[in-house]
Amino acid sequence: MRKTILDNYKSYEDAVKNFNWEQRWDIFDGNESNFNIAYECVERHPREDKAIRIKFDDGRTEIYTFGEFSDSVNQFANYLEKKGVNAGDAVAVLLPPCFQFYVGMFGTFKRGAILIPCAVHFGPDAISFRLRKGGGKAILTTKDKTDIIDESLRKELNLKILYAEDLLKEIKDEPKTYKAFTTANDLAMYQFSSGTTGEPKAVNYRHGAITVSAPFIKFAQGIMADDNYFCPSSPAWGHGIWYGTIAPLIFGVAIGTYSYPGKFNPDRCLEALEEFKATNMAAIASHYRVMLSSPNLDKYKVRLKRLTFTGEPMSKEVFQLVQEKWGVTPHTQYGSTEVGPLTSDFAGFDNWKVKMGSLGRPSIGSIVGVLDDDGNEVGPGVNGQMAIKRGKKWVGVGDTVYKDEDGYFFYVSRADDVIISAGYTIGPIEVETALMKHNAVEECAVVGSPDKEKGIIVKAFIKIKEGFVPGAELEKDIREFVKTKLSKHEFPREIEFINELPKTADGKIRRKVLRELEIERKK
């Protein structure tokens, strides 16, 4: 990891005062007219250094060097070209964390094609939606996933299916060099984000996006040259993409991850922390909560020096357990797919003071405020919607917060209907649309409901049609039905039958009333 201008900043105040965005180019080899994510994250680093370390759910470990990684990335880029995938075409990757996932991801970038990351627990509707919206030309997945890719859509898109099981054999004779012809302004990835008003929206990231993320990552994560970095978040999601994958690779530090296509196993993750001698960890708050609840926690030697969390607030109990068991103070990170990082604690500054329960202070180079209902900025101690300034315009992000006299922000609640469960962002409309396809459902509303284990779970309130009988049998039938339509993290964990849904005078369902009812019930 080479020294960059970012290493010169020793405090948050220093960085806020002196950092400017032109300095970000000092971190990279490329420039605006010649820039490629795969080259910057993979190819320019020493070939003998470790690039990827994966602990799998069955206990095995795989480790790859930058040389091995770079060769395979270039071979995959050549392979895509041979298969007729052009620069600007979209390539979906539907895999758990594995070498083939990372080869597919960065090989797509190197080709100049556009990545569509897909989580392995996506249902057929979610996959079809992303392929159609992105205009997918190819998908890299496993053979057991073939049946959930809609046959008519495959024909419509003339979709090429590439199988991970055969990939390394298929590309082994391809050249190990590939000349990229991308600029910083060329599209690199469609990352889809759930919302409150309907279908997921594609957030477009260009190759140059990593030049903007690099300062945030360096200051907030505090990544050092000698770090053993670890992040168990899936690289199909925002946190796993940016903080689990791109973050360390920008600086020539190896990815360290735990691949669990099924249920998160806290002991396996703890085993990985010990085996990899992890010193810097980024995860969602739920990961820490589950690990610290393991009866085997004290069996594992954890060497963490820096630890960050995101996805949801960390409870006081978990925060203090992290300090007690591992001797490190958790640093928070807060942002969204649409606008990027907003506030953080800054693990990169030794003198940074963490305030337990806060969201930290604004990211370097960002103007973040709290707005009232009229869009005016309010002062310390006053609740309002968090917003970031883009040019002369404030952009709200859907959370109610306040800030204190020191400029630290504190979360109060969601200002909209988005559900954040175990780090996943879930739009209620997607779930409600699937529920409405069941022949017993007349109306429904989906909200987040407090849960001791997951923090928030998806709950559906359902008004059924005449002729159907509410009860456990119907509830099971509805749940099994929507499981075939939705991703595993989206389907309702709880269903409640209701005679009438609360509505506004013009007939709109008032999810807020139901959400507040659930909060009151589960106090």
| Tens of pLDDT, residues 456-487 | 899 999 999 989 999 999 999 999 998 888 87
CA dihedral 124→134→259→480, nearest 10 degrees, is -20
b/e map of 167-186 (b: 16 or more CB within 10 Å)? beeebeebeeebebebbbeb
Residue 412 is assigned to a structural domain of this protein: no
Domain harbouring 475, CATH code: 3.30.300.30
Number of separate domains in the chain: 1
Of 456, 459, 457, nearest to 444 by C-alpha is 459
Across 277-283, average pLDDT: 97
pLDDT at 508: 66
Residue 371 is assigned to a structural domain of this protein: no
Residue 488 is assigned to a structural domain of this protein: yes
Residue 196, pLDDT > 50, answer: no
Instruction: Fill in the amino acid letter for 516.
Output: E
Are 102 and 170 contacting, i.e. CB atoms less than 8 angstroms apart? no
Segment among 103-117, 132-146, 345-359, 400-414 with least mean pLDDT: 400-414
Using one digit for the tens of pLDDT, what is the confidence trace for 66-116? 999 999 999 999 999 999 999 999 999 999 999 999 999 999 999 999 999
Average per-residue pLDDT for the chain:
92
Q: How far apart are CA 494 and CA 162, in angstroms?
A: 37
* More reliable by pLDDT, 316 or 313: 316
Q: How far apart are CA 136 and CA 116, in angstroms?
A: 8
Residue 513 is assigned to a structural domain of this protein: yes
pLDDT at 110: 98
Residue 502 is assigned to a structural domain of this protein: yes
Residue 15 is assigned to a structural domain of this protein: no
pLDDT at 195: 52
Using one digit for the tens of pLDDT, what is the confidence trace for 428-459? 877 888 898 899 998 899 999 988 777 789 99
Residue 351 is assigned to a structural domain of this protein: no
Residue 441 is assigned to a structural domain of this protein: yes
pLDDT at 194: 62
Residue 357, pLDDT > 70, answer: yes
Residue 55, pLDDT > 60, answer: yes
Q: In whole angstroms, what separates CA 164 from the centre of its chain?
A: 22
Nearby residues of 263 by Cβ (< 8 Å), 6 or more positions away: none
431: domain range?
Answer: 419-521
Using one digit for the tens of pLDDT, what is the confidence trace for 365-424? 899 999 998 999 999 999 999 999 998 899 988 888 899 999 999 987 766 667 777 767
